[in-house]
Amino acid sequence: MTEYTIPYADGTLRFALPEGMRGTVVHSRQLPPVETWRAVRDALRSPLGSPPLGELVGPGDRVCIAVTDATRACPDHLLVPPICTQLELAGVAKEDITILVAVGLHRASTPMEKWEKLSTDIVQRYKVIDHDARDAAWLSDLGAGPGGCPIVVNRRAYEADLIIATGVVEPHQYAGYSGGGKTLAIGCAGEATIAFTHGARMLEEPGTRLGRIDGNPFQAIVREAARRANLRFAINVVLDDEGRVVAVAAGAPEAVHDALVERAAPLYTVPIPRQYDAAVAGVGWPKDVNLYQASRAASYLHFAPTPVVREGGFLIVPAPLPEGAGEGVGEARFYEALAGAASPRAIVEDALAHGYPPGGQRAFVMAKVLQHCTVVIVGADDPELVRRAHMVAVDTMEEALALVAGRFGAGADVLIVPHALLTLPIVTPGGVAGAGTEREGKG
């Protein structure tokens, strides 16, 4: 009997399929990991479309470094120290360097998260603060952007002499791929910007799609907002599904993003021959700490160019959810919208008719998924919380797979995606599972 392994919390979860059930494992493709410190050094020395940092600043300049929060796997502890070293070598005083954690509308980061993300040395040496999307006193309005989007960004960043952003380039539900200017333009944006970019109108746009950059209105806003805020330098990475750095680029944000999307797209997209009865979507830490983040695994597989699971199928997400639905304002709104509605259909209809506040977009997206598939959360600390969100809660994979067998029979066809946020399966009718996949096994 074949045994399968997927990430779960900070470890792994092992399971087997019931007798007769067919399983296919799909991974993103493999690239050799880079020697990260050397790759970061080389990227900073030879930036794309930009002079090196030492030529962008000098003594007396104020610098803001926008970094990702704890829900992103970006290895900021490897990126920020060499950035700060370069700045100080150029004459920037450490008192003039501010590190801004791009929490968007998520909760503020904890001291432990700051230490883990940035290193204790960085937190002790420099001012590290969290963005607050709702504090009007610390926001700058930069006018209307594409489609009338209000562009509002953190004032500490905007008023700095130089803004630098870190980021990870990976598939993103709305931006196509994250990274580039997104850490600043969305993670350090005002609530008005987040509301517009995550509203039902934006998410219904045909170009607002996972894995798509060209013609993507969300991405167009990100890039225009970054330009207006005068984001001049970014350093981004691409990670493999084991969290190892496989590519690094630094320099002008759009040049960095374009270069790394070109590397990321063939890494993350993998052909599969058909739709499946069910998919097991691995998440792992840090995304499986709350329902808001973990549910992305289900929506990513559903909103692939062709839904990975057929109509009426199952999307199984093992996630302990120690923070429940999530502790930020956006997470609270997400859960209130789901738990307060009679059905997923009611959520979609209300959102299209009346809109929703930021955070509600995740409820809207998940409601659309739930109209077509059953989402099963395995191992949640609070099963009732999951059930109130119109999803199914079970304790074990055996229970989840029994639900699949009950609907589709003992010979059900299951896709296992150990890293569902870093693998974009593309249904290719008549084809076979391509590079990056493992052949079928049976329970």
**Residue 82: exposed, middle, or buried by beta-carbon count in 10 A (0-12, 13-18, 19+)?**
middle
**Residue 205: exposed, middle, or buried by beta-carbon count in 10 A (0-12, 13-18, 19+)?**
middle
pLDDT digits (tens, 9 = 90+) for 208-245: 988 999 999 999 999 999 999 999 999 999 999 888 99
**Which pLDDT belongs to residue 30?**
85
pLDDT digits (tens, 9 = 90+) for 371-411: 999 999 999 999 999 999 999 999 999 999 999 999 999 99
How does residue 57 score in pLDDT terms, banded at 50, 70 and 90?
very high
Amino acid at 298: A
Measured between alpha carbons, how far is 20 from 441 in angstroms, rounded to an integer? Answer: 10
**CATH number, span 36-239:** 3.40.50.11440
The counts of H helices and E strands in the chain are 17, 21
pLDDT at 2 over 90: no
pLDDT digits (tens, 9 = 90+) for 263-279: 999 999 999 999 999 99
**Which pLDDT belongs to residue 370?**
97
Measured between alpha carbons, how far is 188 from 160 in angstroms, rounded to an integer? Answer: 14
Amino acid at 331: E
Measured between alpha carbons, how far is 226 from 182 in angstroms, rounded to an integer? Answer: 8
CA 443, chain centre distance (Å)? 32
Nearest Cα residue to 164 out of 235, 215, 114, 218: 235
DSSP type of residue 431:
-
What is the DSSP track for 276-323?
EEEEEE---TTGGGSHHHHTHHHHHHHTSSS-SEEEEEEEEEE---TT
**Which pLDDT belongs to residue 435?**
47
Measured between alpha carbons, how far is 91 from 403 in angstroms, rounded to an integer? Answer: 63
Measured between alpha carbons, how far is 414 from 393 in angstroms, rounded to an integer? Answer: 19
CATH 3.90.226.30 placement within the chain: 3-29+268-442
Average pLDDT over residues 183-205: 94
**Which pLDDT belongs to residue 242?**
84
pLDDT digits (tens, 9 = 90+) for 291-344: 999 999 999 999 888 999 999 999 999 999 999 999 888 899 999 999 999 999
CATH architecture of the domain with range 3-29+268-442: Alpha-Beta Complex (3.90)
Residue with tokens 């333009």: 185
In a 3-state reduction of DSSP, which class is residue 367? helix
**Which pLDDT belongs to residue 19?**
93
How does residue 1 score in pLDDT terms, banded at 50, 70 and 90?
confident
How does residue 359 score in pLDDT terms, banded at 50, 70 and 90?
confident
pLDDT digits (tens, 9 = 90+) for 69-127: 988 889 999 999 999 999 999 999 999 999 999 999 888 999 999 999 999 999 999 99
pLDDT at 430 over 80: no
Pairing of strands 245-251, 231-239: antiparallel
Asked if 113 contacts 99 with a C-beta cutoff of 8 angstroms, the reply is no
**Which pLDDT belongs to residue 343?**
96
DSSP type of residue 104:
T
Asked if 216 contacts 182 with a C-beta cutoff of 8 angstroms, the reply is no
Nearest Cα residue to 87 out of 47, 118, 114, 55: 55
Average pLDDT over residues 136-140: 95
pTM over 0.85: no
Nearest Cα residue to 390 out of 366, 407, 406: 366
CATH 3.40.50.11440 placement within the chain: 36-239
Nearest Cα residue to 101 out of 73, 75, 57, 70: 70
Within 10 angstroms of residue 297's Cβ, the number of other Cβ atoms is: 28
**Residue 290: exposed, middle, or buried by beta-carbon count in 10 A (0-12, 13-18, 19+)?**
buried
Nearest Cα residue to 367 out of 397, 337, 328: 337
pLDDT at 439 over 60: no
Inter-CA distances, 107 with 104, 113, 323, 353, Å? 8, 12, 11, 28
How does residue 442 score in pLDDT terms, banded at 50, 70 and 90?
low
**Which pLDDT belongs to residue 433?**
54
| Cα dihedral: 300, 301, 303, 308 (round 10) | 170
pLDDT digits (tens, 9 = 90+) for 158-190: 999 999 999 999 999 899 999 999 999 999 999
Measured between alpha carbons, how far is 303 from 145 in angstroms, rounded to an integer? Answer: 27
**Which pLDDT belongs to residue 441?**
58
**Which pLDDT belongs to residue 431?**
53
